[in-house]
Chains A and B, each alone.
Chain A
Amino acid sequence: MTTMTDPPKASFQLSMLIYDTRYRSYTFQFIALMLLLLLLGYLGANLVSNLAAQGQNISFGFLSDPAGYDINQRPIEYDSQSSHMRASVVGVINTLIVAVLGCATATLFGVTAGILRLSPNWLVRKLMAVYVEAFRNVPVLIWILIIATIMTASMPSPNQFRGDNADASMLLDAFAFTNRGVYVPAPVWGAGSLVVVLTFLASIAGVFYYRRYATKLLYDTGRLLPMGWPSLVILFVPTILIFFVLGQPITLDYPALKGFNFDGGLHIRGSLIALWFALAIYTGAFIAENVRAGIQAVSKGQTEAAASLGLRPKRIMNLVILPQALRVIIPPLISQYLNLTKNSSLAIAVGYMDVTGTLGGITLNQTGRAIECVLMLMLFYLTISLAISAVMNVYNNTIKLKER
């Protein structure tokens, strides 16, 4: 007693692979896959015949050979007899150093400029607009080169610090800006310094614990404990006390002029400063725009609503504006960090020995193993990018507005 008729069961015909929407996508995917495989096979065959013609092969054995070149900035033990692998690791660490320094400084510049762009002060607003536009619209490579030139061409040579009425003098007797880099005091970790560091770490944990306790107390009893100054006290007082009780175990090693150059202290090379500062100030301009957009994305009604609830301006900022603005700011901020890390590969232009300079530069040129080196280089950057995007996805999921 069926009133509906089933559609006639058409027998499968070959033309349906093209004309029937049910099968067409399979046909198309099959064709695309075949073409892709064909292309890859063609490229692979070319690779094999090219390598055979030059008597080469693909092998990563060269990584354990001695590198035979020096690296000027060595965060870990390295000399010219170390392997290419070790040279690459030094490069990786140097990349991470400049990336971390750059991200921190760029955030500082960017947040400052972004907030100042919304300042009620016309002059400051315009100055910040000039900063943002000037740095966003000029290639970062040119900025790196300009700052590198400042570091080498307009800084005094160590020689000029010599004598009684020298041309140049050290800042506060502690910082020397020379054309070979900047010398700053270096901490010397004496006996007992571990205790000081551990105390400081414990103080940080203490601050978090205090804040959680204060919040809980507020929710449970309605009593409001002060947050600002107790946090500072917990953070610094125990550490300073321990520092003096143990007899100042951490001292500073000041740079001093010895022979033709400065000795002692921490030597920050001009190339690192050029790269670090240029990346920071360039990325900072982009971050400023993100911060500005984030703050403007919070509607004025939110501020007014919070004010009508009787919140003080500081609490309006902390409890209402910032949580909503950060939701908008953080994702592009993280992708700016990613860009900065990728742009740090421009180190090669100023001779900073990051992973592009060691693995992709000297190692590649010395061994001639272009494919292997470039492949490893790409994999390194890819790993960093994917790791950062994974973190970002997790973050986005946690802050996602839970609707319905």
Chain B
Amino acid sequence: MARDQLAFVRTHMLPEAPPPTAQTGAVKWLRENLFSSPGNALLTLVSAYVVFQIVISTAPWFINGVWESPSLTACREILDGKMGGCFAVLTERWNQLLFGFKYPSELYWRPGLAFVLLFIAAAPVLFGKIFPRKMLIFTGLYPFIAYWLIWGGSVLVPVFALLGVLVGAFTYSRVVTISAGVAVIAAFVAALIFWILSGYVTGPMENVMAIQAVASRDMGGFMINLMLGVVCVSLSLPLGILLALGRQSSMPIIKWICVVFIEFIRGVPLITLLFVANVVLAYFLPPGTNFDLILRVIIMITMFSSAYIAEVIRGGLAALPRGQYEAGDSLGLDYAQSMQLIILPQALKISIPGIVNVAVGLFKDTTLVSVISMFDIVGMIRGPILASSEWNGVYWELFGFACVLFFITCYGISQYSQWLERQLRTDHR
């Protein structure tokens, strides 16, 4: 009886007790992430001190920065002995940093417009799900529009260049049913013949619908870096795919041509290839032809990056299970079809991070053209700006600006590629 009275049955749940203060919120986070052990606490304090010192020593440089001043001496007078950056060099030489020092200033809107259009052209490629597919037509036309905007001259040149590409594409679609390899070569040859012939038309008619032409040697600044980066990456993608397929080919001669090309290019530094563009390539062109330096540099950088992209794509091709190739064969697809429909979409998807790495690396490497005395952004900083009497000695502001430009671009691209990887992940994890 007594037991029954002593018995206690709880009829409802106790309210949840709050966790100990050390186990919740900011305190828990601090304890786990910053002060989990004496060693870690020490490490935290040391790094916090380092960060604090860096902030303290550079903050006045930014806060006291001078944004309006005609020269370094004037800027130092404004600062009056205080520590501060002379960011006025950026505002005063803004156009030079972006367009070089010889591009006609009344035409700045043209490369500016080309830059804005670049985003419209790139949007359907980069964000295929958001933008309509019809915008890809503009993407296809963009290179020719951009060329016309930046270089100017007769509209016939980009039009005929576009027609040449169409001729090549038409030839490819005709011959591809016979043999994919022959079709690629035939397309190249047909386009080349068309371009050579069209030279006889555009040559004498260079004033038809012409806007003011700008010579390549008048271009400079960050514009060159962007141009080289965009042009060379877009050109080297198809070339890289061809080289990768060639290297995987069962035909020994094709395979060895590709292997030798890829290994040779990958074995030498870009700077030697730029030397080739600068001083050697002219020897191998027909006497009397005068290729632009920019064009020669584009050729060499494209060769350079296509070898690297080829290796990345080869990795993607090799990562595909053998069954995918066999599936293509068993469906009765020929080589071109099975590549286009089965192999390449998967292989390219695997290779995206690698391709983006190559693209970012290539974009950074475009600064090397300053070594062969082209005035890209680094060339502009080291040459005309730092050598001028007004701004002799403003190193940090200028180099810092170049760093920021490259950081934004490259970091943006790599973040995009990570986003794309997540989008394309079709396996359900």
Contact = CB atoms under 8 A, between A and B. Distances in A.
Contact of B287 (A24, A46, A146, A377): A46
B269 to A, nearest CB: 4
A37 to B, nearest CB: 11
Given A127-B47, A138-B406, A146-B399, A382 B264 contact: yes
Contact of A137 (B32, B257, B393, B414): B414
B216 interface: no
A124 B272 contact: no
B254 A32 contact: yes
Given A46-B286, A123-B44, A134-B407, A346 B371 contact: yes
Interface residues of A, number: 57
A110 interface: no
Contacts of B251: 25, 28-29
- Please indicate which of the listed interface residues B270, B367, B414 has the most CB atoms of chain A within 10 Å of its own CB: B367
B272 A46 contact: no
A139 B282 contact: no
A378 B178 contact: no
Interface string B272-299: 1001100110111111000000000000
Given A138-B364, A142-B406, A374 B371 contact: no
A145 B378 CA distance: 9
A348 interface: yes
B406 A137 contact: yes
Given A50-B283, A145-B382, A342-B269, A35 B51 contact: no
B411 A382 contact: no
B267 A386 contact: yes
Contact of B178 (A19, A49, A123, A377): A19
Contacts of A356: 269, 271-272
A204 B32 CA distance: 42
B421 interface: no
- Please indicate which of the listed interface residues A43, A127, A370 has the most CB atoms of chain B within 10 Å of its own CB: A370
Interface string A1-31: 0000000000000000011000011011101
B403 interface: yes
A345 interface: yes
B379 to A, nearest CB: 10
28 contacts: A25-B251, A28-B182, A29-B252, A29-B253, A31-B182, A46-B283, A46-B287, A50-B284, A120-B40, A122-B33, A123-B51, A124-B44, A124-B47, A137-B414, A142-B378, A142-B402, A153-B393, A342-B269, A342-B270, A343-B269, A345-B271, A348-B271, A360-B272, A370-B275, A370-B279, A374-B276, A381-B272, A386-B263
Given A121-B33, A385-B268, 6 more contacts: A32-B185, A133-B411, A142-B402, A149-B399, A356-B271, A386-B267
Interface of A: 18-19, 24-25, 27-29, 31-33, 35-36, 43, 46-47, 49-51, 53, 119-124, 127, 133-134, 136-142, 145-146, 149, 153, 342-343, 345-346, 348-349, 356, 360, 364, 370-371, 374, 377-378, 381-382, 385-386
Interface of B: 32-34, 36, 40, 43-44, 47-48, 50-51, 178-179, 181-182, 185, 250-254, 257, 263-264, 266-272, 275-276, 279-280, 282-287, 360, 364-365, 367-368, 370-371, 378, 382, 393, 395-396, 399, 402-403, 406-407, 410-411, 414
User: Top 7 nearest A-B pairs by Cβ distance?
Assistant: A385-B267, A122-B33, A137-B410, A342-B269, A139-B364, A370-B279, A382-B267
